[in-house]
A and B are shown apart, each in its own frame.
Chain A
Amino acid sequence: MMRGRDQQRWRLPAMWRLAMLLWLAMLPGAGAAEPGRTGTTLRLFFPNQRLNPDQSDCSAVFPVERPLAQGQQATRAQRALQQLLAGPSASERAAGYHSIFSAASADLLRQVRIRGGTAYVDLADFRSRLPGSSSSCGAAEFRSQIERTLQQFKRIKRVRYAIEGDPRRFYDWMDEPCSKSNGYCGWLAGSQR
């Protein structure tokens, strides 16, 4: 009887351990839930002239898979953005993908920090390099590429931007008023470190 009670006492924690493991596996950002996190690819999102021929929806973007370079210290979000900002490859362009981003914008990313479901993306001053990015179609393309690429990581729910550490400069450029949706052009303390 004592042995049976002991078994029962230990069986419950074992079930709890299993439940804990299942719960951890379902957490946002947990390994298997994020595409490529434990694999060897990243997804980047670009507009595609064949899939959206008349560009009637400028925010429509489509995924391409890129191999994940090994041995880099940068976060996966940072690596994804760095690749995105360098634009589509020659073979991707041949397949109809296009972008406002190209080799000329490959060095724009200063840093990306993730806090509480928000990715804070700090960019170098791109305004003279990407002058079309503040038109209504250009802005939709610009933001949907970055946002869809970052939101493949399930712990990223929203994206906020800054130019050279200044969010207001970004939203002024985009002719977007400071509002709740962009955190009133403010960043959380610590997101700029």
Chain B
Amino acid sequence: MYQVKFFEGDYYARQLAANQAGAVAYVEHHFNSSSSTQANYAVVVVGANASQVSRNWGRWYAKAIAEQFGTDVGGDQGILVGGWNGRGDGNLKHTQMPAVLLEPLFASHPQQADLIRSASGQAILARILVESIRRFFPQGGLIAFSVGHKYKTSQPDDRGADLAGGGSEADYAELVLKKAAQLLTDEDDKPGPRKLRLMRGDQLLFETVVDEDAVLSWSPDRNLLFIPD
């Protein structure tokens, strides 16, 4: 149902190639960075010419990340339209399909850098990305992946921001996208009925089907998740 292709070269060339390949969605993965070790929010850049689908997709993803990791959402409810001062707009604005540039965590934040380096953190990031794609592109199709700061013709040595404690943004963005690609194309992980999952880290503890329209409610005082009949 889904095919995934990684696009390389300069960002403009990647977008044109994704257009020519007929991709239905375009994802460029980055991590954010600050000189403050406290900066702590999830944000998604969408092009200045972004469709409403791109905007909704970006907001959904940023909110899901923030809920998962207990962070804030940045920008305008999770998205920066056209990037900050145009930064990032060129990475997306030439696409002919919905496109997002993800900055889910801060490479400069020591705890978040640990998450980015960990296999479980990468798995969670990949899973949320896959859930977002399944939600916004349920018909399937070719998904274009682009690793930010890597495989650029003009700057082949670019790897993006340094992670606090070691490593480079681009190498870990690539790992997340590879895991997401595997999940998306995995035959056993095709979209089906709505499921409720209980997870510890990337380990699935419990899974059950719930009604599409059911409104789940969480009681923090009772530690109870209530599923109506």
Contacts and interface: CB of A to CB of B under 8 A. Distances in A.
Contact of B87 (A98, A132, A174): A174
B155 A136 contact: no
B114 interface: no
Which 4 pairs, one residue from A and one from B, show the smallest C-beta to C-beta distance?
A132-B33, A132-B161, A55-B39, A177-B90
B80 interface: yes
Contacts of B43: 136
Interface stretch (B103-111, B132-140, B198-206, B212-220): B103-111
A49 B36 contact: yes
A111 to B, nearest CB: 23
Interface of B: 11, 30-36, 38-41, 43, 45, 72, 74, 80, 83-91, 93, 103, 106-108, 149, 154-155, 157-162, 168-169
Contacts of B11: 175
A55 B155 CA distance: 29
Interface residues of A, number: 33
**Most chain B CB atoms below 10 A, which of A53, A98, A134:** A134
Contacts of A177: 86, 89-90, 93
Contacts of A132: 33-35, 107-108, 160-162
**Most chain B CB atoms below 10 A, which of A47, A49, A58, A179:** A58
A139 B35 CA distance: 11
A5 to B, nearest CB: 62
Contacts of A135: 30-34, 103, 107, 160-161, 169
A138 interface: yes
Interface in A34-48: 47
A59 B87 contact: no
